[in-house]
Chain A
């Protein structure tokens, strides 16, 4: 079994209204050096396969078809063996 940690990032060319709004909060806090705040998604789950290759294939499938929207998002992930 493997633990997958997936990071889904919106492409830089696509506006992130949430990140923009949160950055206004930073300005109000007096944190004037904060720039380009982006809010992305972090997702964790287990993949119950014996081989790492099989786990990779399934995570890729999950990311491409559901977790990320390939029109506006890119993803990356790590796999770590767990017992």
Chain B
């Protein structure tokens, strides 16, 4: 089976780029390259990842300045042609600022930076990013952010719900959705959404931090494996 090539965009202030690279190369065992934010070639990547971190120091708004990095024009063109894009944490914030996904991210409700394992309910297992998630158990994947409080207006939310675009919600260990399981105040416990076309996913949790068995948790690897196994099908 042909395996896809991943491109990881490196912005000034990205800090999960190397973790993601390590997981893809050593754990998932696929071809992967770094893409500096000033370049304008995606180097024939099949999947582009916008990694976590604090691009441009989170100045002005998270992701607001990175969105205008030269490579983003290419990422937007790529996404509009149906190319697969995964934004993780700060990458999700950049996708929102770039208008590739709807809504905005605001400061966590309690203002604290939350860094811990959380549970995710996979609400849509039909996407290329989640097809490989079997069973009904919640995924254990860590979060680490200060601005992960997702907000969208009523119409946008309705549209997201109707089109099955809410892919991940924060939940309890047993998969139940509750306010207690919501770590940041996100509306309707939203942790990850996909665009209508199904090729651009943004998620606040860090799958790359729960992919290497040496860390004692591997649920994050299901997302990368799902991409690898389904992209050419």
The yes or no verdict on A and B being binding partners is yes
Q: A residues within 8 Å of B by Cβ?
A: 13-15, 17-18, 21, 66-67, 69, 71-72
Say yes or no: B107 contacts A17, CB within 8 Å.
yes
Contacts of B97 in A (CB 8 A): 69
Contacts of A72 in B (CB 8 A): 104, 106, 151
Say yes or no: B104 contacts A71, CB within 8 Å.
yes
Main secondary structure of the interface of A (DSSP, over half): loop
Select from chain A the residue with minimum beta-carbon distance to B68. A66
Main secondary structure of the interface of B (DSSP, over half): loop
Contacts of A14 in B (CB 8 A): 104, 106, 151
Contacts of B109 in A (CB 8 A): 15, 17
Partner of B60, one of A15, A17, A66: A66
Say yes or no: B106 contacts A15, CB within 8 Å.
yes
A15 to B108, CA, bound (A): 10
Say yes or no: A18 contacts B111, CB within 8 Å.
yes
Say yes or no: B111 contacts A67, CB within 8 Å.
no
Contacts of B64 in A (CB 8 A): 66, 69
